[in-house]
Amino acid sequence: MSIRKSGGYRKLASFQSATLIYDATYWFCEKFLDSRSRTVDQMVQAARSGRQNIAEGSRASATSSQTELRLVNVARASMEELLLDYEDYLRHRHLPLWKADSPEASDVRSVPRRFRENRSDLSDSTDLTDLSDPQRWSLYAKWLDHTDAVIRANAIICLIHQCNYLLDQQIAVMEQQFIAEGGYSEQLASARLAERARQKREQKDQSDLSDPTNQTDLIPNCPQCGKAMALRTAKQGQNAGQQFWGCTNYPDCKGTARL
């Protein structure tokens, strides 16, 4: 059994949103921009980078939480670059940019809410993330297939803002998990020690386990709250690079113990 799960990115709302944006950008550039323009390559590559890095980050999560976090941050940066490209397209052509509180922008943002409301009376529990890519596109087709570049560009800008919000939430959760659980190497070491402890318990009677000399391989409990501890590596200070036991209830509990 793997220590950390990986993959499953196709069900991530951020990946699905990035896919919608990538497809919309490809067809927007095809219809409204000169195919020989460098802007086309830049916009399509930025949209593709956002989508691909979410997927790569998800796959990397099994072996490196730091790599996962880095790749998702790259995806977030690519989406921000793409957002600026669409804003530039409108500004350079003296075309209107929808305000965040405009009826047009609100209409695009409310698609997920309207979808959930329309499904509330149905017997199945289909969620927006359960839709296929063509089904999801159909919900936004009246904007993304529009012949007016202003409507298409502004609708995509709304989608990018939504995707950026999802990525910001995803990054925040990943950062908290990394603080609480440590990286892959630390989790692997803890799992190894736990397995050694399990094997030791199987080989000894309960009376044997009461002997302190037989408990050197057991994972200790936190001296402050009593919960199990996990192996950590000091990131800074005079003990940087050294391993120690840290409470699994961190940051609520900051109990530590030496190896």
- Listed by start position, the domains of the chain span 9-181, 184-205+212-257
| Cβ–Cβ < 8 Å for 105, 189 | no
Q: What is the pLDDT of residues 190-218, one digit of tens each?
A: 656 666 767 777 776 555 544 544 444 56
Rounded Cα–Cα distance for residues 256 and 145 (Å): 58
Residues 6+ positions from 17 with CB-CB distance below 8 Å:
159, 162, 163, 166
Read off the pLDDT band of 174 (50, 70, 90): confident
Rounded to an integer, the average pLDDT of 42-51 is 97
Nearest to 167 by CA among 79, 259, 46: 79
Q: pLDDT higher for 15 or 245?
A: 15
Residue 233 and residue 242 in contact, taking contact as beta carbons nearer than 8 Å:
yes
Beta-bridge partners for 243: 233
Whether 234 and 242 have beta carbons less than 8 Å apart is answered as yes
Range with lowest mean pLDDT among 103-107, 111-115, 227-231? 227-231
What pLDDT is attached to residue 120? 57
Give the pLDDT confidence score for residue 223 in this predicted structure.
82
Average pLDDT value over all residues in the chain? 83
Q: Count of CB atoms within 10 A of residue 31's CB?
A: 11
Least confident of 147-161, 195-209, 215-229: 195-209
For residues 28 and 185, the model is more confident at 28
pLDDT tens track for 128-141: 788 999 999 999 99
- Before 212, cis peptide (omega within 30)? no
Q: What is the pTM of this model?
A: 0.68
SS3 69: helix
